[in-house]
Amino acid sequence: MFYSLTGALIFTDPAIAVVECGGVGFKCAVTAQTLRALPSVGQVTTLYTHLAVREDALELYGFGTKQEMEFFKLLITVSGVGAKVAISLLSAFPPEKIALCVATGDHKTLTKAAGVGTKLAQRLALELRDKVGALSPVDAGADLAAVAAVAEGPAAQALSALQVLGYSQSEAQLALSRVDTSLPVEQMVREALRAIARMVR
């Protein structure tokens, strides 16, 4: 029904933003990522929206980007993931990070979002694995299939070493997907550490 709203931002709190359009204030539940990107109260903003129709209420969700809105819609297709959990996931991680975690099977990272336990995180990784690649390219154009393949073969030892050094499974796999996996394990780890340093610049 509503694709987007453009108008003056008239109110925010940690969970909502109110946008005035034609004299009507539309209250939208928003993610922490969207909230941080909003302008000051009184300035014009655009939110991409999703309207959830329930028996007892109409709830409007607002997102700063189309990608975030599309990911929200994708997340709520997973059994056990309601709007509250989807908002929590998108508050904790940008869409490309969720895509990376799903592609690499890194369900442990997903449990850092409030309301996401191990079983639900595993279900997310399983049910969305074949869907996220088309919806969201991982940063710097990384190939999700290449990232996932790092968990196999000799690169698995380098992956374990990077995790011991404190990197998440998804971060380590992304870095290793950018190095020559035919190198000796020690050299793969060194090259992956350089790749991680370049990614955070």
- 79-103 tens-digit pLDDT: 889 999 999 999 999 888 888 888 7
DSSP per position, 49-102: EEEEE-SS-EEEEEESSHHHHHHHHHHTTSTT--HHHHHHHHHHS-HHHHHHHH
3-state helix, strand, coil in the chain (%, to 5): 50, 20, 30
Q: Give residue 133's pLDDT band: very low, low, confident or very high (50, 70, 90).
A: low
Decide which of 1.10.3720.10, 3.90.650.10, 3.40.1190.10, 2.40.50.140 is the CATH code for 4-64: 2.40.50.140
Q: Phi and psi of 144, rounded to 5°?
A: -60, -35
Domains 4-64 and 79-137 share a fold: no
For the whole model, what pTM was predicted? Answer: 0.71
- pLDDT per residue as tens digits for the range 34-62: 999 999 999 999 999 999 988 888 999 99
What pLDDT was estimated at residue 54? 83
What pLDDT was estimated at residue 145? 56
Q: Evaluate whether 144 touches 98 at the Cβ level (below 8 Å).
A: no
- Lowest model confidence (mean pLDDT) among 57-71, 105-119, 144-158: 144-158
Return the domain boundaries, the chain: 4-64, 79-137, 141-201
User: Which tokens in the block code for residue 21?
Assistant: 């359009």
State the architecture of 79-137 in CATH terms: Orthogonal Bundle (1.10)
What pLDDT was estimated at residue 15? 93
